[in-house]
Every structure is written in C-alpha cells, then in structure tokens.
Amino acid sequence: MISDGTQAQAVFAALADPTRRAVLRSVASGEASTATELAAHLPVSRQAVAKHLALLERARLVDAQRAGREVRFQATPGPLGEAIEWMESVGTQWDERLAALARAIDKP
C-alpha cells in the first residue's frame, strides 16, 4: 500500500504516454512478450518499444524475464492496484471536503 503516493506518481508518469499505455495493454492481453513481438503489433520501432518497456519496468508495471537470448515481459498488476487505492483515498478526501462545502452553502 502506498502512503505518500510515490509509487502512484511513477505509475501515472508511465501511463501518461499513449504509446506506453498501448505497450502495457499489449503485454497485459496475453502471454509474456518480447519487445520485437510487441513492436510487430504497434506503429513504433522495436527500439522505441524497448525504451517504453524500460520505463514501465521502472514503474513496476511490467516484469522482465530473461529466457536465453530473449527478454520476455509480462504485466504486473500490483502497482495499478496501489495507484487506484491512492486515487480512492484522494477522492474520499475531496468527497468529504465537497460535502462540507455543500453543508456550509445550505446553512441559512
């Protein structure tokens, strides 16, 4: 669980780019994939996919496993869950503040 939002920041930064979201979506939709396999289905080069995968790995959204000469990537859902928990906690705080504001406005 995230207390300060640091991991959530890494997740949000990684997901800010539409190409990285597409790469993550591709990785998450099937078995572990290599950068070459992923690039075959995306409008970017293998090198670009590899760079996006490196950033996703730093954010812990994918895990890299070496299999001989290949590096295969698979999605790791934990950090997304942590980011969702962080958003829910922030959302709850805003809900409470907005409810207090509504009560203050409704007072005669």
User: Does some domain include residue 96?
Assistant: yes
pLDDT of residue 87: 80
pLDDT of residue 107: 81
- 75: tokens are 């999605």
Determine the structural domain holding residue 63 and report its residue range.
6-106
pLDDT of residue 5: 63
User: Does some domain include residue 56?
Assistant: yes
In the chain, how many domains are there? 1
> Nearest 5°: phi and psi at 49?
-60, -40
Residue 37: which CATH number?
1.10.10.10
> Nearest 5°: phi and psi at 35?
-60, -40
Give the chain's residues under pLDDT 70: 1-5
Contact 15, 28 (CB under 8 A): no
The bridge status of strand 70-75 relative to strand 62-67 is antiparallel
Cα 23–64–5 angle (5° rounding)? 70
User: Does some domain include residue 67?
Assistant: yes
Residue type, 64: A
User: Does some domain include residue 1?
Assistant: no
User: Does some domain include residue 70?
Assistant: yes
Q: What pTM does this model have?
A: 0.74
Give residue for tokens 């992923």: 38
pLDDT of residue 39: 93
Measuring CA to CA, how many Å separate 27 from each of 19, 49, 52, 79, 89?
Answer: 12, 11, 12, 15, 28
User: Does some domain include residue 34?
Assistant: yes
